Amino acid sequence: MALRRREVLRLGGAALSIAALGRVSGSFAGRADAAQAAPEPTPADDQTAAALRELIVRRAIPSTNPWVLMHVVLAFGRDVKQGSTPLLDDVIAGNVKQSTIDGVRYDYFERKVEAHPNHFLQILQATEVPYDRVFQSPIGKLTRRDLVAGATGLFDPQANDDEQSWTISAFTADFPPDHSRFTTARKVQVDVADLVEAHCRDTEAAYADTFAAMQGTKPYRRGVLQTKACNGTHLVYGLIDALRAGYRGHDLRPRVEKIIDATLFRVAAEPALIDASLAQRTDPLVRLNADAAKFTFLGHVLEDLGYAVRRGVLTLDAKQRATIDKGREMLSGIVERLTGEYDLDGLSVAVPEAYKLILGDSCHALRGWRFWL
């Protein structure tokens, strides 16, 4: 029986100690460092990138799922096409909705389509779609600027039923620290600085057990963090964008640095935990699920931290860069197995949701891989 990626760590009660994993730590304070210089891509680097591209082109681009297609946009850029039509145009035209409040119409995407609040808007921000780019839709022409107006107009600060990382990325891009307030359609005053602080606190709470494992006060095991989207990795991206936008209140930078340090610690800890949880399990679908879980985690970590380095938010020292290189080595092996060993066609029939997640994760992995070349 196939297992979903979040179920893999429930298979056993394995926990890993600090002694088995070692510790990764260091300073992130804006230093120029030789470790930042990207080496020339090796043939192995190119092979991994080519395998990810081929997987996406063959399996993700032909998809009809808007969530998958928006991930393709994230990987290949705002102008990627499906046939002769830009994917972005098709996704927006086919999925944008409108809500009217006090006679004003606001554009939005349903949660069941984009999966997380402001997910699609965050991808428009990440791929630098111009604010005035016009999209045709059955409800009329609209632009990225219209979608920002819809997101802020319909935003409900009391609706806190999901992670806010995508919202933080989108809102900090449009509301810098010196202009951080807006008013919703229901006349609620919102300060983006408060949203950033709340998200940082939520992330710290999710990372509490990892912090303890780093200090050796408890073993590293499955906890709250692993229940978060993509094994907790999306939490980090929003905080990186907040720093990039200039947010610094409540000692944000040192707190995010601690979280990033813990994320680097997890590069060894998380794959080891997954493997320990699968001891003596040889079923091919179980092994595929384990690799898919590690694929999710490592691809997103490379994307998060690669993005931070490329945008000047983060500087790694040599030890931290060595940890990234180890993560890249693990990811490369997983890509080789995903594209050459496992039966993804069978998975698409047996567990279509798991197959869809692999397609989305492939897009994150390719984007993350490119950041380090």
For the whole model, what pTM was predicted? 0.91
Classify each residue of 87-102 as buried b or exposed e, where b means 16 or more C-beta atoms within 10 Å of its C-beta. Answer: bbbbbbeebbeeeeee
- The radius of gyration computed from the CA coordinates of the chain, to the nearest angstrom, equals 20
| Mean pLDDT for all residues in the chain | 90
Cα separation, 307 vs 223, in Å, equals 26
Which residues are paired to 190 by β-bridges?
A: 182
**Tens-digit pLDDT profile for residues 50-84:** 999 999 999 999 999 999 999 999 999 999 998 88
For the chain, the domains span: 5-371
Give the tens place of pLDDT for each residue, 243-271: 999 999 999 999 999 999 999 999 999 99
Token pair belonging to 39 = 């080496």
pLDDT band at 24 (very low <50, low <70, confident <90, very high): very low
